[in-house]
Amino acid sequence: MGRQHEEAEHQRRPSGPAGRSRSSPTLVRCPQCQWLGEIDHSDWNYVMRGENELQTVDRHFTELLQELRVAQTGVQILFAFLLGLAFTARFADLSSVEQAVYLVTLVLSATSAALLIAPVSYHRTVFRQRLKSQLVSAGHRYAVVGLVLLMLALTGAVQLAASFVLGAWAALLAGALAGLFITLWFVIPLVHRMRHHHRPLD
């Protein structure tokens, strides 16, 4: 462990006076990422946080649960709204297209809720089976797909509600909101991920 610590400390240092990476020169990185990208995640967590791999997995699972709580609140409120809408007097006035939008939005919302709740069921199923790493990996995938479906369900719900006021213009509003969701939830994080690439290139 001591030798691993020394090697990790050595790798943390810039490889040259300008801090240039010895890896691929074709990938443009921020100055800090040029040398941080040469360190494996497990070594970085050990040096910077004093965590072993098991502690890192436990922390990742805790972070995942906190994020799921935020997403689950949104999808539960949306799902309750959609279920209640079917029993209102105005529901019968919906056109066939609007009813189709409602049905698709309801299914998307239910599927999103299933994916965002799935890590809890997964955890209960594999409890004490020493599969926490697999749980975190599967939960990550569930969460990403669940967020995509939640975005689509939110867009459909806005389009459906706005159609009572804006008519055909509701689709334009829903499209604009979809673009906002995509930008805030995915585009900006992916741009930062590509620029600040902290994974070893090889």
pLDDT, one tens digit per residue, over 149-179 is 999 999 999 998 888 788 778 889 889 999 9
User: Of the candidates 63, 108, 103, 110, which has an alpha carbon nearest to the alpha carbon of residue 86?
Assistant: 103
Q: Give tens-digit pLDDT for 71-123.
A: 988 898 999 989 888 888 778 878 888 888 899 999 999 999 999 999 999 99
> Cα 154–156–162 angle (5° rounding)?
100
Pair (45, 65) in one structural domain = no
Closest CA to 178 of 202, 162, 164: 162
Distance CA 189, CA 202 (A): 22
Task: Provide the number of structural domains found in the chain.
Answer: 2
Is 54 contained in some domain? no
Query: 105 and 22 in one domain?
Result: no
Task: Please tell me the distance from the alpha carbon of residue 127 to that of residue 132, in angstroms, as a whole number.
Answer: 9
Same domain, 107 and 153: yes
Both 20 and 95 in a single domain? no
The answer for 20, left when phi > 0, alpha when psi is -120 to 50, beta otherwise, is beta
- Give residue 68's pLDDT: 92
Indicate the average pLDDT of the chain. Answer: 79
**Same domain as 177, residue 142:** yes
Query: Is the same domain home to 77 and 145?
Result: yes
End-to-end alpha carbon distance in the chain: 23
Indicate yes or no: pTM above 0.85: no
Q: Does some domain include residue 197?
A: no
* Domain containing residue 26: 2-49
Q: By three-state DSSP, how is residue 174 classified? A: helix
In angstroms, the CA 63 to CA 134 distance is 15
Asked if residue 169 is part of any domain, the answer here is yes
